[in-house]
């Protein structure tokens, strides 16, 4: 019977070679042709998988740069999961914490990766838009608005939702770019661009402790020093209605 410790050592040696074949010697006793099959299969599968998960990030980089990202991920990141759908989070963690930027990297690299990861994570989330105890047609000013758990808000320095091979911003925006990502009841993922006030409103909805929509808006006016609370209520009502149409809001809390 083979020695388990020896077999484990060979597995680690084989894995170390697959991760970094340029700097780690191949294990002895394995035919070069066969080990090359595993080496190429492992790398190409990972490259293809991450290309699908980060389509815009892939499109804006040439083959050589994309290969460098994948190889760096393999060399330097210790993944904590074996599941394919969780690899994008691992790749994002690599870019955020371990990747050493080059001078010619796009300045929005990590933000774009985060945005694409968030889209994917939202698309596979097991959360659901609440229906129990919710009136989908309730008055959003009189009632207590109910935010969907499938609506996530983020602030970026770059307009990541617009980046493409034809739009590659070199400088951050003067003001934060606020985006609400959401998934509706048809499982379609979309986004709503917010201004600073509507972003603050969505954050207030997330933290709402039972206030009606109007009370929430009037409290928000105080918190952000808005000069005209009545005007904020008027504009806020329109914003709340748009959020309900997009299913960022599920409706209002039913009263007993």
pLDDT tens digits, one per residue of 113-143: 999 999 999 999 999 999 999 999 999 999 9
31 — phi, psi (to 5°)? -60, 135
Reply yes or no on domain 4-105 having CATH 2.60.120: no
pLDDT tens digits, one per residue of 182-236: 999 999 999 999 999 999 999 999 999 899 999 999 999 999 999 999 999 999 9
This prediction's pTM: 0.89
What pLDDT score was predicted for residue 8?
73
CB 196 within 8 A of CB 202: no
CATH number for the domain whose boundaries are 129-253: 3.90.930.50
Closest to 214 in 3D by CA, of 142, 116, 109: 142
182 — phi, psi (to 5°)? -145, 160
Q: Of the ranges 2-6, 56-60, 177-181, which one carries the lowest mean pLDDT score?
A: 2-6
* Beta strands 134-135 and 189-194, pairing class: unpaired
Give domain limits for the chain: 4-105, 129-253
Q: How many other CB atoms are there within 10 angstroms of residue 148's CB atom?
A: 24
According to DSSP, residue 60 is labeled T
Rounded mean pLDDT, 142-168: 98
What pLDDT score was predicted for residue 204?
96
Q: Which residues contact 254 (CB under 8 A, 6 or more apart)?
A: 133, 134, 135, 138
Q: How many other CB atoms are there within 10 angstroms of residue 22's CB atom?
A: 6
What pLDDT score was predicted for residue 197?
96
Q: Which residue has the higher pLDDT, 122 or 35?
A: 122
pLDDT band, residue 35 (cuts 50/70/90): confident
């Amino acid at each position: 019977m083979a020695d388990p410790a020896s077999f484990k050592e060979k597995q680690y040696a084989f894995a170390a070679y697959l991760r970094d074949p340029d700097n780690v010697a191949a294990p002895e006793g394995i035919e070069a042709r066969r080990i090359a099959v595993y080496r190429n299969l492992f790398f190409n599968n990972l490259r293809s998988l991450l290309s699908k998960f980060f389509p815009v990030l892939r499109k804006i980089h040439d083959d050589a740069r994309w290969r460098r990202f994948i190889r760096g991920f393999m060399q330097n990141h210790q993944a904590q999961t074996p599941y394919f759908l969780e690899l994008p989070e691992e790749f994002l963690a690599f870019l955020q914490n371990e990747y050493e930027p080059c001078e010619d990297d796009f300045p929005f690299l990590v933000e774009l990766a985060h945005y694409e990861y968030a889209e994917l994570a939202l698309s596979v989330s097991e959360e659901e838009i609440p229906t129990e105890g919710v009136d989908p047609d309730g008055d959003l000013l009189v009632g207590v608005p109910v935010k969907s758990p499938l609506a996530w808000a983020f602030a970026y320095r770059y307009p990541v939702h617009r980046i493409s091979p034809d739009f590659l911003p070199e400088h951050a925006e003067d003001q934060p770019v606020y985006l609400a990502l959401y998934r509706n009841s048809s499982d379609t993922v979309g986004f709503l661009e917010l201004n600073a006030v509507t972003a603050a409103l969505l954050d207030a909805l997330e933290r709402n402790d039972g206030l009606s929509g109007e009370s929430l808006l009037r409290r928000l006016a105080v918190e952000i020093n808005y000069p005209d609370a009545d005007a904020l209520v008027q504009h806020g009502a329109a914003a709340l209605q748009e959020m309900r149409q997009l299913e960022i809001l599920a409706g209002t809390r039913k009263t007993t």
